[in-house]
Amino acid sequence: MAKGYVIARAIVTNPTAWAVYAEKSSAAIKVYGGNPIVRGGRCEVAEGEGRARNVVIEFESFEKARSYANSSEYAEARKEREHAGVLDIVVVEGA
């Protein structure tokens, strides 16, 4: 079965509020068996539009990744992020 990934690109505007969001989203990731393989860190835009913060979370399947992204647990975390930054998230099927 192909794995699933949640890929996010972010601009953080309020680090304090973002930290609360990150804590709650981390708890939700655990509920759905996710494994963060990229979480922040150094990045360099090689082409196109980039964002300073990038996240890749691996799940056992696309369905698990989608379940996490649409979960009530993640919705609670998302409320904390409303005034903390801008975030694009995609759920992707992978190898």
What confidence tens digit (pLDDT) does each residue in 15-47 have?
A: 999 999 999 999 999 999 999 999 988 999 999
Q: Select 4-93's CATH number: 3.30.70.100, 3.40.50.1370, 1.10.3720.10, 3.60.15.10.
A: 3.30.70.100
pLDDT, residue 28, reads 96
- For the chain, the domains span 4-93
What confidence tens digit (pLDDT) does each residue in 46-83 have?
A: 999 999 899 999 999 999 999 999 999 999 999 989 88
Cα(23)–Cα(46) distance, rounded to whole angstroms?
Answer: 30
Chain Cα centroid distance, residue 21: 11
Between CA 13 and CA 71, with CA 75 as vertex, the angle to 5 degrees is 135
Q: Nearest CA to 7 among 48, 42, 49, 53?
A: 53
